Structures are given as structure tokens and as C-alpha cells.
Copies of this chain bind each other. A is one copy, B any other.
């Protein structure tokens, strides 16, 4: 028996908006700790890890560990039927091959339940080792989203370089080149507007903008984003989910190619 009651149901809608373009089907894992997901994107290049801790739910009952395979597009369709202020309850009976999403309007005048078939999904749960990163950048998530979107109109890849001066995002395309430098800045009115660069060692890594722009779908979940970089390691793009957990995206850097890669 599983029953998870989430007062701020819009959180779950946003989570699905953030991952459904990247991953088609995935197992949600429930344990007494929380509600989590780990999945590779459909082209097996990026990895998503989601955690919603049990403490973040108004009511959390999970009698035994259970893994529920869902089609994220269908799940998202159903969640879209909830109002933004609705309370969402996820229910599953033991041994059932369905999951039920219940939506309660704030006034309790409208109560909906949506039942969805579960699927069997081979899950390869990777252990992700905690790593030391050469550089960790925390910045406003909207600013990071705009940078990735802007650069994608010029080129396909972004070079993220961290020095003690700040972070540089660069790209190059047919129509020209672009460099966006963001300096560390902690003297702001609100802490979520700060840009903080923690650097042990300078790094410069190249990533596919296509994936970065998928990751920024999570922007509505948090005002800030944390980007952790080490040479030879996948970058981690993390959005904290208030009081509940996080959504993390992992993406391996591209091996830097020669300058004249465009002239084969």
C-alpha cells in the first residue's frame, strides 16, 4: 500500500515537465525515505536523478519498497488535468499494476481520480559516486536558461570555462561566435540573485547545448541552479526542490575537437 499526499501538487507537474522530454519511460522508486527516479535519456547520453524526500509530503505511507514503471508522457497528461493549486495524492495498492493520481481542488469541491497502467521497465540503477568537483557555480536559474537558449541560436555546443574571474559560456557557429561572461557577484538584494563561483582548479569543458536546453526545462522548480564541473567527469546541473529534494542532470563533456572541425 502506497499513499503519498503532496499539498503543493504543482511541484509534481513541474517535475514532469522537466523530465518528460528527456525520458520516455522510467521507474519511480518509493521507499520510506522518499519518492525517487533515476533514468537515462532516450539516447543514453544524459542521466536524470530525482529525489522527493518523504518529509516533504503531507502524508507519506509506503509499506514496502516498490518500483513503478510509468510512461512519463501519459503521466504528464494526467497531471495536466490537475489545477495548479490542487493537492495531489499518488496511490497504489500492493500487487496492483495501476497507479492512481487523485486531485483535490483547494475548496474540496472538485475531486478527480486518474488511474494509469504501470509498465515493466528494465532499470539499470547506477550508483553515482560523490565526487570532488574542480568548480561549482551557483547562479540564478533563469539567467542560466537564457544563456543556454541564446547560445543555441548561434551554435550547437557550449564551452563552459571557470576561472577565478567567473564563468564563461562560449559557442561558435556558422554565423559567428559568442562569449558570455558571468562574474561572481554576491552583493545583491536577494540571495537567489547571487552568482557564486567556488573554484579549486580552472576548468573548461564542452557540452551539447541540446541537452543543456532540456535541463533548463526544470527552471520553474528553483530560482537557482548549481553547475558542478570537473574535467573528465559528467557535469551536474542541479535544481533544488524546496523542502523536498532535488532534480539533477548529468551530462558527459564532449572531447574538445580541433578548431577546424567544421571543415572535414
Contact = CB atoms under 8 A, between A and B. Distances in A.
A78 B154 contact: yes
Given A109-B182, A110-B183, A185-B107, A176 B74 contact: yes
A178 B109 contact: no
Contact of A181 (B111, B115, B143): B111
Interface in A93-129: 98, 107-117
A219 interface: no
**How many copies are assembled?**
2
A80 interface: yes
A86 to B, nearest CB: 11
B195 A154 contact: no
A93 to B, nearest CB: 15
A150 interface: yes
Given A81-B153, A153-B77, A110 B180 contact: yes
Contact of A177 (B77, B114, B150): B114
Interface of A: 71, 74, 77-78, 80-81, 83, 98, 107-117, 143, 146, 150-151, 153-154, 175-183, 185, 195
Given A114-B176, A114-B178, A116-B176, 17 more contacts: A74-B175, A78-B154, A78-B178, A81-B154, A110-B143, A110-B183, A112-B179, A112-B180, A112-B181, A113-B178, A114-B154, A114-B177, A114-B179, A115-B176, A115-B178, A116-B175, A117-B175
